[in-house]
Structure 1
Amino acid sequence: MGPFSLLFNLLWIVFGGFWMAVGWAIAAVIMAITIIGLPWARAAFTIAAYTLLPFGQRAVPRDEYFGRDDIGTGTLGFLGNIIWFVLAGWWLALGHLLTALLLAVTIIGIPFAWAHLKLAGLALWPIGKVIVPA
C-alpha cells in the first residue's frame, strides 16, 4: 500500500468507513449464525475488510480476473445474489448511499462519497466478485 492509499484509508475510517465495515461484519455474523448463510458470510467478511480499507484495492468479477467461470459466477451465483439482495444487500447499499450523500456535501468528502457509491453497488451484488490490489 502506497503512502497516498494509506492516507486515504486513514481518512476513510474517520469519514464513515469504520461504521460501514461494522455493518458488513454484522451482516456476516448474522449469515454465519444461520448456517445456511455461510457462503454469504464469507463474502460479507471479505467485503467488510475491503470496506475498512478500500483505497489501493478494487472489486472485480471473478470470471474476468481468473479467466474461467466457477460456481459463484454462473446461475447459482445469480440466485445467491438475489437472496443476498433480499436479506442484506439493500440495507447495506442504503447505508453506503446515505453516507455518500452526507459526504458529497463537502469538497473534501467527494472522493469518499464516490468510494461509498462503488461499495453500494457491490453491496447489491457481491457474489462472484474478488477483491484485488489496484
Structure 2
Amino acid sequence: MRVILNVVWLIFGGLWLALGYFLAGILCFILIVTIPFGFAAFRIGMYALWPFGQTVVEKPGPRPGALIGNVIWVVLCGIWLAIGHVVTAVAMAITIIGIPLAIANLKLIPVSLFPLGKEIVPTTQGGFA
C-alpha cells in the first residue's frame, strides 16, 4: 500500500515539491552562511519524495544552534512553506483518493516549520504513516 501511495504522491505533486526543496537547498549552499538550511532543505526534499513509510523525530540532546536556526527559518520561510502545505492539502482532500495525499502534505508541516534538529526515520507501523 505504501508503494502505491508513494507513486501516486510522486505523480500528483511530490516530485515538484521535492524539486523546489532541492533548488532551495542548492541556493543555500551557494550562499555559504546558510549551509545548515541547505542540509535541512535536502532532508525535507527527500522526505517529500517518498513520505509514506517515514516519520519525523527529534534528534536527541540539547541543540541551542538548532533552536536559533529554527527561529530564523520560521521568520524567513517556514511560515510560508507551512501555509503552502495547508493550501495544497485542502486542494488534495477535495477528492476521496486525495485524502491520504492531503494527510502526507500535513505531515510535512512540522518539518517545514522547524527543520533543524529533526531526523527522518522509517515507521514501523502499518497504515498511511
Q: Provide TM-score, normalisation by structure 2.
A: 0.88
The answer for unaligned runs of 5 or more in structure 2 is 124-129
Is 1:81 paired with 2:78? no
In the aligned structure 1, how far is the partner of 2:108 from the partner of 2:48?
7
Please say if residues 59 and 129 of structure 1, whose CA atoms lie closer than 8 Å, have aligned partners that are also in contact: yes
**Which amino acid in structure 1 is aligned with residue 116 of structure 2?**
I
In the aligned structure 1, how far is the partner of 2:24 from the partner of 2:85?
14
2:85 to 86, 92, 96: 96
The list of structure 1 runs, each at least 4 consecutive aligned residues, that deviate by more than 6 angstroms after superposition, is none
- Deviation, 1:92, is 2.0
The answer for unaligned runs of 5 or more in structure 1 is 64-68
In the aligned structure 2, how far is the partner of 1:115 from the partner of 1:103?
10
Please say if residues 20 and 95 of structure 1, whose CA atoms lie closer than 8 Å, have aligned partners that are also in contact: no
Structure 1 stretch 54-63 or stretch 21-30: which is displaced more?
Answer: 21-30
Aligned length: 123
Structure 1 stretch 35-44 or stretch 82-91: which is displaced more?
Answer: 82-91
- Deviation, 1:97, is 1.4
Aligned to 1:57: 54
- The alignment partner of 1:130 has SS state of strand
Matches within 5 A, 1:34-53: 34-53=31-50
Structure 1 stretch 81-90 or stretch 113-122: which is displaced more?
Answer: 81-90
Q: Percent identity?
A: 46
Provide the aligned C-alpha RMSD in A. 1.3
Structure 1 stretch 105-114 or stretch 80-89: which is displaced more?
Answer: 80-89
**Which amino acid in structure 1 is aligned with residue 115 of structure 2?**
P
